[in-house]
Amino acid sequence: MSKTTKSFLYNFLSFAAFFLPAQLLLSSFTSLKGFAMMGVAFVISTILAPKFQAIRTKDGEKIFMKIIFIKGVKEIN
């Protein structure tokens, strides 16, 4: 599996890990319904979920991660 595909899957899984609980919490504790609830959960997940990107360097292709909770960019092995 290529690093680009891995970074895409990591992005999807990390977004889903934040989206599903956010949607559950919003449905439990707010009066939002339908697309409004999904829209708010989408915005929350987009901000909080880590972003992964595959970059081609001199040493080959590498995956890097940026998250709001950690300063800087981390390399993923």
Task: Tell me, yes or no, if the pTM score tops 0.85.
Answer: yes
pLDDT in tens, 4-50: 999 999 999 999 999 999 999 999 999 999 999 999 999 999 999 99
Name every residue whose Cβ is closer than 8 Å to that of residue 70 and which is 6 or more positions away in sequence.
Answer: none
Instruction: Give the mean pLDDT of 68-73.
Output: 92
- DSSP reduced 3-state for 77: coil
Per-residue pLDDT, 77:
79
Domain residue limits, the chain: 3-76
